[in-house]
Each structure stands twice: as structure tokens, then as C-alpha cells.
């Protein structure tokens, strides 16, 4: 980052100051938002590369502008590597991020007004899975399945009965706030029983699928898998649609020219790099470690009395009901932890009686902490700090002490891509 900081020092010192501030925040605090991660230094380099200058509407070999000899190389590389990592027949790496990625699938494979069976937002689904406030929720007829109140797990009997009743054209799995793996074979059976297509939005857990630590929906015969590239995969902020070969033309046409214009070629270069890393043996170790860290964190928090949705985790995240555990809402919990340099996000829980900006819980995840090299015993320390803070969220003196301990602890775990000597610049 030297060049960037040096350049900004000459031309925009206010921006340089904010950048150094963010670098310091990321280095001295513990990132536990399950959808965040620290990307590779090579990804930061490619994002800031001259590929950002290039327009490349179309696809490799079929572009609407000249000068594509290198953009074609990187896009083909990204597509081929993504197919190899996930065992897919076709990949589209142009979606600008997660929302257009999912929209492109619905618009490419369905007609407006068609029915989609997907997970309810408050039970862990995503806005693009048909929340009434989303444009997709207005354009398509979404039927929402929920989790079983007794276990917190998806109720497959309910999924089957909703499918029989509403006969969806698409059965959608995937989540942003649910701490378990999916029974893809059961979802496929539901879809087959009504002749529906199957899709998983694996954005949160694609890193664990790539690394073999969670199940791969294609093994159960799924038609489409979507994923953002910046969460557990550690890549740039982008989207990838993986699908069967016979759906490829409809998907590609839906992304461009249906929904988007020029692809972000700097992001596609970075996705190519991310897929190379995801295929390496070290990534398998990383994926397993993310899950073992989440289990260690969950185990210690539960030992201390935490009420976790589904009573634990099989993936990279846990969802805690802070209202029932500590008598505080998710916003109060998020703010108290933030004051100690521990970053989580407030989260609605199933059928939450509270509104989204003051929900009943928080979401906690381990991809970023694992990237920094934190291990199972570090998770115990983290849980102990979290418990103490959440028990006494107004004890500002003690929280300030914990913040100092957190900073000291974090100094052992450098953030990839951040040179600590840069942080002295504006201190
Ligand atoms: N914002 C992402 C998440 O945190 O889960 C999903 O889009």
C-alpha cells in the first residue's frame, strides 16, 4: 500500500488519513462479522491495476470493444478455475456483486410472476431471496419457508408441503444467518416432486464448499449455485454464477446485456487469482479451521450460558439471541462489543418481535479471524471477553481495559495486506 499512501499524501491528505484510519481499525480490532474477511495482498494489487481502465462488454471472444487480448485471458482463467473449484459445468464471473447475481438468475431462468420457494428473511434468508421490500419480492411470487421453532433447524416437511401447495418454478436454498449445513438431497427431492429448478446462494459458505468443509450442492444434482467472492472465499467484492451447461446461454444473456453493462475487469482478474488459491491444499486447511474455530467459539459461549440459534454451529457462524441471554438487544450488544474493538453485527432472529435496527440478536463469524491465524484457544479468549462485555455493557471503564487487551492480542496476528509501519503515518 506504500504507493497508494504516498500518492495520496501528495494529492489528498484527508483521504489518506481516512485510509490509514481504516487500516488501523482493521489491524487493532477483531473482525467477527461472518460475511467479512481479509483478502489477499495480490487481490488488493489486482483491484488497483490497469484492468480497471478497460471496457469489455460481452464475453471472451465476443466483445463489443477492441483491445481484449488480456481481458479475455483473465476472464477465461476466472471461469475455468471457478468451474474446477466447484465442479461446475459453466461459470459467469461478471455479476457486480451478490444482488445483481441472484437477480440475473431469476430473470434469466424464470418469467415475472413465477413462484420461488425460499427462506424467510428473519429465519436466515437474504433480502434478494424475496423479502417484500426488495424489487425481486415485487417481481416474483416468493413463498417463504421457516425454521422449526423447537430446534431452530429448517423444517423439510414444511418445505415439501409448501412446494406441493404452491408449485414453485425454483426452489432456492442458502442463507445469510443460519448456522448449519443444508440437506441438498432433500431440497432436490422437493424440487423434483414439482418439476422445479434448484438453486443455492452459497455466498456465505462458498469458501467451505470449495475447501471441502461443507457439502457441495452440485453433488446432489443442483442446477445453479451463486456466490459472492469476498466472504469466506477471501476474494474481491464480486459475484459468480455456476450452472449446468444447458442453462449457460440463458444465464450469460441475463447478466449481459440483460442486467449489466461493462464488467469490472479488475475484479475479474482478482477472482481468477482467488480461484487459484481456493484450489490449493492450504485452502482446505483454512476452510476446516474456519469451522473448528466457529465450533470452539460457540462451545465456550454456550458454556457461559449463551442462547445460540440451533444450539451451536456446523459452519462459520453463530447467531446469538442477546435478548434472552443478556437482556440486551442486538444493537446494544454490537455497540458494547465495538467499544472494545470486537466487531459483530446486530441480527434479527426467527420471528423477531423487534425491528431490524434494534433486533434481538447478533451474528458472529470466524472467516476473518481465521485468516489472521487465530486458533481454537484464541476463540475461548474471545468468548470470555464477549461474555464479560455483554454481561456489563455499560461498564465503560472495564470495556476500555478490554479494548487495550484486544489491541495487544491483535498485534500477534498481522492482517494480510496491511504493513504495520504504515500505521505510524498519522498517529
Ligand atoms: N451483507 C451480506 C451479509 O452480511 O450477509 C449479505 O449480502
Domain boundary among 247, 278, 309: 278
Identify the CATH number of the domain in which residue 314 sits: 3.90.1150.10
Ligand 1 center to 67 CA (angstroms): 35
Residues 145 and 181 in one domain: yes
Ligand 1 center to 176 CA (angstroms): 6
Question: In the predicted model, is pLDDT for residue 320 greater than 80?
Answer: yes
Q: Where are the alpha helices (DSSP H) in 110-264?
A: 135-139, 156-166, 184-194, 206-210, 248-253
- Cell triple for residue 182? 443444508
Residues 204 and 341 in one domain: no
Ligand 1 site, CB within 6 A:
35, 98, 126, 176
A 10 A CB-CB count for 237 gives: 17
Which pLDDT does position 103 carry in this prediction? 98
Cβ 43 vs Cβ 270: under 8 Å: yes
54, 167, 237, 276: which one is catalytic? 237
For residue 3, being part of any structural domain is answered with: no
Ligand 1 center to 62 CA (angstroms): 33
Cβ 47 vs Cβ 266: under 8 Å: yes
Residues 68 and 157 in one domain: yes
For residue 413, being part of any structural domain is answered with: yes
- Of 204, 163, 161, residue with least CA distance to 181: 204
Report which secondary-structure segment, H or E, holds 16. helix 13-28
Identify the CATH number of the domain in which residue 140 sits: 3.40.640.10
Using pLDDT thresholds of 50, 70 and 90, give the confidence band for residue 426: very low
Question: In the predicted model, is pLDDT for residue 420 greater than 80?
Answer: no
303 flagged as catalytic:
no
For residue 18, being part of any structural domain is answered with: no
Q: How far apart are CA 249 and CA 239, in angstroms?
A: 17
Using pLDDT thresholds of 50, 70 and 90, give the confidence band for residue 173: very high
Ligand 1 center to 73 CA (angstroms): 30
Residues 125 and 103 in one domain: yes
Which pLDDT does position 415 carry in this prediction? 97
Residue nearest to atom 5 of ligand 1 (CA): 176
pLDDT in tens, 196-244: 999 999 999 999 999 999 999 999 999 999 999 999 999 999 999 999 9
Q: Which ligand 1 atom is at minimum distance from the Cα of 36?
A: 4
55 flagged as catalytic:
yes
180, 231, 346, 363: which one is catalytic? 231
For residue 111, being part of any structural domain is answered with: yes
231 flagged as catalytic:
yes
Question: In the predicted model, is pLDDT for residue 2 greater than 70?
Answer: no
- Domain containing 351: what range? 289-418
Report how many domains make up the chain: 2
Residues 78 and 219 in one domain: yes
- Cell triple for residue 69? 487480448
Residues 271 and 145 in one domain: yes
Residues 271 and 332 in one domain: no
Residue of 122, 178, 231, 315 to mutate, ligand 1, most atoms within 8 A of C-beta:
231
pLDDT, average across residues 299-306: 98
Q: How buried is 425 (Cβ within 10 angstroms: 0-12 exposed, 13-18 middle, 19+ buried)?
A: middle
Question: In the predicted model, is pLDDT for residue 195 greater than 80?
Answer: yes
Residue nearest to atom 1 of ligand 1 (CA): 35
Residues 155 and 253 in one domain: yes
55, 72, 167, 407: which one is catalytic? 55
pLDDT in tens, 82-120: 999 999 999 999 999 999 999 999 999 999 999 999 999
228 flagged as catalytic:
yes
237 flagged as catalytic:
yes
Residues 248 and 187 in one domain: yes
Q: Which ligand 1 atom is at minimum distance from the Cα of 345?
A: 4
pLDDT, average across residues 377-382: 98
Residue of 204, 226, 233 to mutate, ligand 1, most atoms within 8 A of C-beta:
204
Q: How far apart are CA 152 and CA 173, in angstroms?
A: 16
**What is the average pLDDT value for the chain, to the nearest integer?**
96
Residues 63 and 179 in one domain: yes
Residue nearest to atom 6 of ligand 1 (CA): 176
Which pLDDT does position 94 carry in this prediction? 98
Residues 236 and 359 in one domain: no
Which pLDDT does position 423 carry in this prediction? 74
Using pLDDT thresholds of 50, 70 and 90, give the confidence band for residue 136: very high
Q: Which ligand 1 atom is at minimum distance from the Cα of 98?
A: 7
Which pLDDT does position 346 carry in this prediction? 98
Domain boundary among 255, 278, 301: 278
pLDDT in tens, 57-78: 999 999 999 999 999 999 999 9
- Cell triple for residue 84? 474446477
Beta bridge partners of 171: 117, 198
For residue 427, being part of any structural domain is answered with: no
Residue of 102, 125, 203, 205 to mutate, ligand 1, most atoms within 8 A of C-beta:
203
180 flagged as catalytic:
no
Amino acid at each position: 500500500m506504500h504507493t497508494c499512501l504516498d500518492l495520496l499524501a501528495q494529492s489528498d491528505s484527508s483521504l489518506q488519513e481516512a485510509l490509514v484510519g481504516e487500516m488501523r481499525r482493521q489491524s487493532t480490532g477483531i473482525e467477527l462479522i461472518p460475511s467479512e474477511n481479509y483478502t489477499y495482498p495480490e487481490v488488493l494489487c489486482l483491484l488497483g491495476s490497469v484492468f480497471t481502465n478497460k471496457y469489455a462488454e460481452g464475453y471472451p471472444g465476443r466483445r463489443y470493444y477492441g483491445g481484449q487480448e488480456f481481458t479475455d485471458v483473465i476472464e477465461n482463467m476466472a471461469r475455468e478455475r471457478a468451474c474446477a473449484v466447484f465442479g461446475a459445468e459453466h461459470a459467469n464471473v461478471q455479476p457486480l456483486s451478490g444482488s445483481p447475481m441472484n437477480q440475473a438468475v431469476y430473470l434469466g431462468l424464470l418469467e415475472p410472476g413465477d413462484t420461488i420457494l425460499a427462506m424467510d428473511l428473519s429465519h436466515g434468508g437474504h433480502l434478494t431471496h424475496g423479502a417484500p421490500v426488495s424489487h425481486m419480492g415485487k417481481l416474483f411470487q416468493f413463498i417463504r419457508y421457516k425454521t422449526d421453532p423447537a430446534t431452530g433447524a429448517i423444517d423439510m416437511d414444511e418445505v415439501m408441503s409448501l412446494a406441493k401447495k404452491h408449485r414453485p418454478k425454483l426452489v432456492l436454498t442458502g442463507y445469510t444467518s443460519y448456522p448449519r449445513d443444508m440437506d441438498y438431497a432433500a431440497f432436490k427431492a422437493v424440487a423434483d416432486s414439482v418439476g422445479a429448478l434448484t438453486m443455492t446462494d452459497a455466498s456465505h459458505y462458498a469458501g467451505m464448499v470449495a475447501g471441502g468443509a461443507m457439502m457441495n450442492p452440485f453433488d446432489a444434482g443442483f442446477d445453479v449455485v451463486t456466490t459472492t467472492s469476498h466472504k469466506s472465499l477471501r476474494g474481491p467484492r464480486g459475484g459468480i454464477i455456476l450452472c449446468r451447461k444447458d442453462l449457460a446461454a440463458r444465464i450469460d444473456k441475463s447478466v449481459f446485456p440483460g442486467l449489466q453493462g461493462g464488467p469490472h475487469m479488475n475484479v475479474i482478474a482478482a477472482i481468477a487469482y482467488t480461484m487459484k488459491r481456493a484450489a490449493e491444499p492450504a485452502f482446505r486447511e483454512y476452510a476446516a479451521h474456519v469451522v473448528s474455530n466457529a465450533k470452539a467459539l460457540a462451545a465456550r459461549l454456550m458454556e457461559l450460558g449463551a442462547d445460540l440459534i440451533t444450539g451451536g454451529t456446523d459452519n462459520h457462524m453463530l447467531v446469538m439471541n442477546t435478548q434472552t441471554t443478556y437482556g440486551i438487544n442486538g444493537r446494544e450488544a454490537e455497540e458494547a462489543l465495538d467499544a472494545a474493538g470486537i466487531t459483530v453485527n446486530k441480527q434479527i432472529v426467527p420471528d423477531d418481535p423487534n425491528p431490524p435496527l434494534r433486533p434481538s440478536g447478533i451474528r458472529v463469524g470466524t472467516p476473518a479471524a481465521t485468516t489472521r491465524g487465530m486458533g481454537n484457544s484464541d476463540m475461548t479468549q474471545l468468548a470470555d471477553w464477549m461474555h464479560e462485555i455483554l454481561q456489563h455493557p455499560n461498564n465503560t471503564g472495564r470495556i476500555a481495559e478490554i479494548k487495550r487487551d484486544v489491541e495487544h492480542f491483535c498485534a500477534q496476528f498481522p492482517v494480510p495486506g496491511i504493513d504495520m509501519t504504515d500505521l505510524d503515518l498519522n498517529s
